[in-house]
Amino acid sequence: MIKGIKGVKDILPEETPQWRFIEDAARRWALCYGYQEIRIPIFELTALFARSIGAGTDIVEKEMYTFPDRDGTSLSLRPEGTAGTVRAFIEHNRAADPLPQKYFYIGPMFRHERPQAGRLRQFHQFGVEFFGTSDPRADIEVIALLWRLLSDLALSNLTLEINSLGSSGDRAAYKPILLAFLRHQESRLCANCRRRMDRNPLRVLDCKVLDCRAATELAPKLTDHLSPDARAHFDQVLTGLVAIGIPYRLNPRLVRGLDYYCLTSFEITSTHLGAQNAVGAGGRYDGLVKTLGGPSVPAVGFAVGLERVSLMLPEASLSSLNECLYYVAAFGEEGIKLGFVLLDELRGVGISAQCDYRATTLKGHLRQADRSKCRYAILLGDDEAARGSVILRNLESKAQEELPLVGLTSILKTRSFSS
Ligand code: HAM
C-alpha cells in the first residue's frame, strides 16, 4: 500500500467545514481591511527564495523542497508567500499603479521540518502584504487585522510579542556589539549557535536551547541601539497599539528566521500550542522589493498558520458547522416518488437536504437522519402523499407539524432565511 508522505496530511470531509470556517473568516476580515486576493504559484525559481528569505537561513539552507526542472534550472516549492507576492508585484509592474496596494493569499506552503503537533511539511498560511507606505499605522493595521481575526475565531491565551529590528544600518552597528558579548559566552552556546554566530549573531538570540537562552539573558538589546528614526517608528507602533486596545509584550529576542525584515517584527503566540507556539508572525520588509529588482517600495505583512489556528479553535465554534438542514424521509411507493422530487426542489433553491436511498422504513430513515446530524426530518409516506402533506419533525425537540406538500419549498425557504 502506498501511504501519504510524513508531515503531509489529508484534510478529511469531517475536517473541511472547520477549514472553510477559518478561511471564510480570514477572507472576510482581509476584505474588510481593504486587501485583495492574489493567487501566486506553488513553485518558483529557487533563487527567488534564496535572495529574499536569505541563503543562510534555516528555511533556505535546510528546509526547502528543491528539484531541477528538465533543463536543470533549480526550482523550489514555496516555503512561504511573501517572496512570490513581491515577485508578482515587481513582474506585473504594480508599483506604476497607485499605491498603497494590499494583497492577501491563502494556500499551502512547504518546509522540510521535523513533523510534530502544529508543525507539518505541507501546511497552510493565510497571509497579507501591504505595499507602499512606511507609515507606522500600516504596521498597526496588519497587527490589528491578525489580532481581530484570531479574536473573532475565539482563540484564547494569545500574546502579541513585538520587537524592532531597526534599519539595516542599526543592525550593522549592533552586530559587532552583540558578537563581542557572544564571544565571552561562546563555551555556553550550542554547536549550532557557535557555527552561525559569526555569520548571523542575531539568530543566537532566537535559539530555543535552554543553555543558549541562559547565556544570552544579559545580551545587549537591539532596541537600545536604534537610530532616532527607527526608535520613533517603533514608539509610534506601540502607542498606536495601546490606542486601539491591543496588548503587547516587548520581546528583544524576537529576530525572526527570515532575512528580509527590518523595523517592526512580531509574533502572536499561544500557550495552548506547546513547542510550536507561534500562531502567526510578520513584520516590515522595506528593502525587499528593491532587493528583488523592483523600485524602492516599503512593505509590511504577516502570515498565520492555519493548522495551528485549527488546533486552537474552540469546540463551540465547530458544533453547527457540519449541519445539513433537512433529511427527507420518503417511504412507501408514492412517498418515495414525491420525496425524490421534493429533495431535488429543496436543493434547487439552495436548501441543504439529504436522504439515504437505502432506507425503506420510517424507523430506518430516522436513524439515518440522526446520524447525518440534520436539524429536521420531512416525513413523507403514502398516508401523507394521499393527504397532499408532509410531517416536519424537529429532530432535537421531536416537535412535529403538518405542512402542505404543494408550496413546501417556498415555506421552508422563507423559514431558513428567518432562522
Ligand atoms: P513564518 O514565521 O515563517 O513567517 O510563518 C508564519 C506562520 O506560519 C507561523 O507563525 C506558523 O503559524 C506557520 N508555520 C510556519 N511553518 C510551519 C510549519 N512547518 N507547519 C505549520 N505551520 C507553520 C512567514 O512565513 C512570513 N512570510 C510572514 C510574513 C508575511 N511576513 C511578512 N509578510
CATH of the domain at 394: 3.40.50.800
Using CA atoms, how far apart are residues 34 and 348, in angstroms rounded to an integer? 34
Establish whether residue 282 lines the binding site of ligand 1, counting it when its CB lies within 6 angstroms of any ligand atom: yes
**CA 325/CA 412 separation, integer angstroms:** 10
Which residues fall within 8 angstroms of residue 197, CB to CB, at 6 or more apart? 179, 182, 186, 189, 204
Which of 57, 80, 126, 163 is the best mutation target for the ligand 1 pocket, counting ligand atoms within 8 Å of the beta carbon and taking the most?
A: 80
Alpha helices in 244-373, H assignment, sequence order: 288-291, 306-312, 315-318, 333-348, 362-371
From 269, 293, 317, give the residue that closes a domain.
Answer: 317
317, 342, 372 — which closes off a domain?
A: 317
Q: Which helix (H) or strand (E) holds 179?
A: helix 168-185
Task: Kindly state whether residue 177 falls inside one of the protein's structural domains.
Answer: no
Same domain flag for 65 and 159 = yes
Atom 20 of ligand 1: nearest residue by CA position = 119
As a residue count, the chain comes to 419
Residue 376 pairs in a beta bridge with 326, 394
Residue of 375, 368, 364, 359 whose CA lies nearest to 322: 375
Give the Å distance between the CA of 82 and the centre of ligand 1.
10
| Residue 322 exposed, middle or buried by CB count within 10 Å (0-12, 13-18, 19+) | middle
Residues 161 and 306 in one domain: yes
Same domain as 158, residue 84: yes
Residues of the domain holding 367? 326-418
Residue 162 grid cell:
513585538
C-beta of 305 in contact with ligand 1 (< 6 A): yes
Domain assignment present for 5: no
- Per-residue pLDDT 10s for the chain (419 aa) are 999 999 999 999 989 999 999 999 999 999 999 999 999 999 999 999 999 999 989 999 999 999 999 999 999 999 999 999 999 999 999 999 999 999 999 999 999 999 999 999 999 999 999 999 999 999 999 999 999 999 999 998 999 999 999 999 999 999 999 999 999 999 999 998 998 888 889 989 988 888 999 999 999 999 999 999 999 999 999 999 999 999 999 999 999 889 999 999 999 999 887 777 899 999 999 999 999 999 999 999 999 999 999 999 988 777 666 678 999 999 999 999 999 999 999 999 999 999 999 999 999 999 999 898 899 999 999 999 999 999 999 999 999 999 999 999 999 999 876 55
Domain identity same for 231 and 136: yes
Residue 200 lies in a domain: no
Alpha carbon 41 to chain centroid, angstroms = 17
Same domain, residue pair 331 and 312 = no
Q: Is residue 131 part of a domain?
A: yes
**pLDDT of res. 419:** 54
Residue among 35, 78, 125 whose CB has most ligand 1 atoms within 8 A, to mutate? 125
Domain count, the chain: 2
Residues 46, 125: one domain? yes
393 Cβ closer than 6 Å to some ligand 1 atom: no
State if residue 119 touches ligand 1 by the CB under 6 angstroms criterion.
yes
CA 120 to centroid of ligand 1, rounded, Å: 11
Same domain as 309, residue 330: no
- Nearest atom of ligand 1 to the alpha carbon of 59: 3
> What CATH number corresponds to the domain at position 125?
3.30.930.10
3-state secondary structure of 50: helix
Question: Is residue 368 assigned to a domain?
Answer: yes
Of all protein residues, whose CA lies closest to atom 13 belonging to ligand 1?
A: 305
* Separation of CA 236 and ligand 1 centre (Å): 25
Q: Is 302 in the pocket of ligand 1 (CB under 6 A)?
A: yes
Q: What is the pLDDT of residue 233?
A: 98
Specify if 110 maps to a domain.
Answer: yes
Residue carrying C-alpha cell 501519504: 4
Q: What pLDDT does residue 418 have?
A: 58
Give residue 307's identity as a one-letter amino acid code: E
- The answer to whether residues 289 and 339 belong to one domain is no
Domain's final residue, options 288, 317, 346:
317
> Could you tell me if the CB of 233 is within 6 A of ligand 1?
no
Whether 54 lines ligand 1, by a CB cut-off of 6 Å, is no
DSSP assigned state of 116: B
Ligand 1 mean position, distance from CA 80 (Å): 7
Residues 296 and 341 in one domain: no
Distance CA 86, CA 80 (A): 12
Q: Whose CA is nearest to atom 16 of ligand 1?
A: 119
Report how far residue 213's alpha carbon sits from residue 206's, in angstroms, rounded to the nearest whole number: 8
Distance CA 27, CA 37 (A): 8
Q: Does 395 reside within a domain?
A: yes
**Residue minimizing CA distance to atom 25 of ligand 1:** 80
Q: Which ligand 1 atom lies nearest to the CA of residue 125? A: 8
Residue 271 DSSP symbol: G
On whether both 161 and 278 belong to a single domain, the answer is yes
Query: 404 and 351, same structural domain?
Result: yes
Residue nearest to atom 18 of ligand 1 (CA): 119
Residue 123 bridge partners (DSSP): 109
B/e letters for 97-107, b = 16+ CB within 10 Å, e = fewer, are eeeebbbbbbb
Whether residues 235 and 378 fall in one domain: no
What type of residue is 376?
Y
| Residue 271 counted as domain residue | yes
The predicted structure's pLDDT at residue 408: 97
Give helix then strand counts, H and E, for the chain: 17, 16
pLDDT at res. 320: 65
CA distance 77 to 82: 13
Structural element, H or E, at residue 355: none
The beta-strand segments (E) located in 78-181 are 101-110, 122-131, 158-164
Residue nearest to atom 14 of ligand 1 (CA): 305
